[in-house]
Amino acid sequence: MTVISPAEVAKHKTKDDVWVILHGKVYDLTKFLPEHPGGQKIILKYAGQDATSAFDPIHPPDIIDRFLPPEVCLGEVNAAELAAVEKVETEQEKKLRIARENKPRLEEMYNSFDFESVAKNVLAPDAWAYYSSGSDDEVTMRENHNAFHRIWLRPRVMVDVAKIDMSTQMLGSKCSIPLYITATALGKLGHPDGEKVLTRAAAKRDVIQMIPTLASCSFDEIVDTRIDGQTQWLQLYVNSDRKVTQKFVEHAEQRGIKGLFITADAPQLGRREKDMRQKYSNEAPDEMDDSTVQRDQGAARAISSFIDPSLNWKDIAWFKSISKMPIIIKGVQCAEDALLAAKHGCQGVVLSNHGGRQLDFAPSAIEILPEVMDALKRENLDKDFEVYIDGGIRRGSDIFKAIALGAKGVGIGRPFLFAMSSYGDAGVERLLELFQNELEMCMRLMGARTIADITPDMVDIRNLKDHFVANPTDYLAKHAYEKMHPRGNLSKL
């Protein structure tokens, strides 16, 4: 392969002649520039340079081989000369480096909000905006957590709780706790190893990991990281090209994936304004004509244009014809759709509003859980049909409340991203330990020795649907949350 000097690469840095270095190879992206889903500006920013650090967080490693012709690879960069090129630390990089150097010790992390507050300081602005953003006014995103505060506990005493067993089975797989690490995209925005960090931590704590379609790591990288006997599920965004979806699903089943979670709540992506505003601020308004790039889309839209908006209940039969994996519909937000999922032969649903990232003012999963369970029981559809929830779960007591109301288990996403971004593998393991410790304590104080002992009569939900009932102020959530601001308050003048 031809060896090219960094000096030669540096000559090709215009819109009509764009070379970049990725993982030691030199690519001519001139013809690809107008087609780049993330816009031209980010490629031009790194034109003539090594773009690996910007490329890795939002692209799986095999994406170039899959989507670009081999002739775009011009050769290898001279590694010795590239290593000798002086790297200038930007002000932003300096700020993040200092934040990481001065972050609290891991032992000082006592709850999920501690990790969130650290992540806010150590993540790059675009990463924080993508991870933390919700749709529109972020009312649903905040309500997801607030709703748990309207459920009160009814402890039972004088119960032998010397031994607590939190283990359970989800979709037939044994796990140490009724919790799974749910699918979240772009793990490498927070850590160089991305989703593999979550895989390793899940293995050590014996919990299930749901692999996202839009992972930074390739699907096979994540699967190859698991240990023998470790259970993984797949979250699926259905591609408009069903042949692509079929190939992916069949490959996942061959690799031993134990559950297919079809995301149904994203026929169009919600307006995540923090993410969109960050995208805009990174673009120079006078550098490109408006007709050549959209500056208001953000990372989320740049990576999700393939999602099929025509997905409907008739498609379940097709999925059942191509896979024997249990099929779960993810993103159900009312009892009627849970019933339809059961009637169409699905094995379960995830009550979810996409972490408050889709339709603002959609209900929280915990709020609709009781009515979903009641509807399933009325029609005798609750047997062999598993209901999961995600969104807003931040304490072991939240897990307890969900199980009491009928959930088989809960999915947790953002907190693990924040733990991973701040402390890597050890951070995720620490957070899992905290959830386990909190649930164990809650079960012991509630008089529940096993998961089966957690019953509906242990919770008081009379205020659950009253969104105006007075609650004690949750100062941890209040201070971890980053308020939204109108554009005028963000002026650079």
User: Alpha-carbon distance 401 to 459, whole Å?
Assistant: 7
Residues β-bridged to residue 389: 351, 410
What string of DSSP letters covers 339-380? HHHHHTT-SEEEE--GGGTSSTTPPPHHHHHHHHHHHHHHTT
Please say if 275 is a catalytic residue. Answer: no
CA distances from 228 to 4, 197, 206, 246, 356 (A): 43, 17, 12, 26, 35
CA-closest candidate to residue 3, choices 82, 67, 71? 82
- Torsions phi, psi for 11 (to 5 deg): -75, -20
CA angle 34, 39, 41 (to 5 degrees): 100
CA-closest candidate to residue 258, choices 304, 292, 211? 211
For the record, the structure tokens of 136 come out as: 């529109």
484 with 360: CB under 8 angstroms?
Answer: no
DSSP letter at 335?
A: H
Residues β-bridged to residue 76: 3, 25
CA angle 263, 269, 274 (to 5 degrees): 125
- 3-state secondary structure labels for all residues of 218-285: CHHHHHHHCCCCCCEEEEECCECCHHHHHHHHHHHHHCCCCCEEEECCCCCCCCCHHHHHHHHHCCCC
Residue 132 CB contacts under 8 Å (≥ 6 apart), including other chains:
120, 274, 414, 482
Please say if 388 is a catalytic residue. Answer: no
Name the one residue in this structure whose structure tokens are 């919600």: 270
**Of the listed 114, 265, 337, 425, which one is catalytic?**
265
What is the sign of the dihedral through the CA atoms of 367, 310, 345 and 340? Answer: positive
For residue 210, the tally of other CB atoms under 10 A from its CB is: 26
CA-closest candidate to residue 335, choices 343, 326, 325? 343
420 with 127: CB under 8 angstroms?
Answer: no
Residues β-bridged to residue 263: 330
User: Alpha-carbon distance 172 to 285, whole Å?
Assistant: 53
- Torsions phi, psi for 330 (to 5 deg): -105, 125
**Of the listed 354, 382, 388, 398, which one is catalytic?**
354
**Of the listed 130, 131, 237, 423, which one is catalytic?**
237
For the record, the structure tokens of 362 come out as: 């959609």
Please say if 457 is a catalytic residue. Answer: no
Q: Which residues does the annotation mark as catalytic?
A: 237, 265, 354
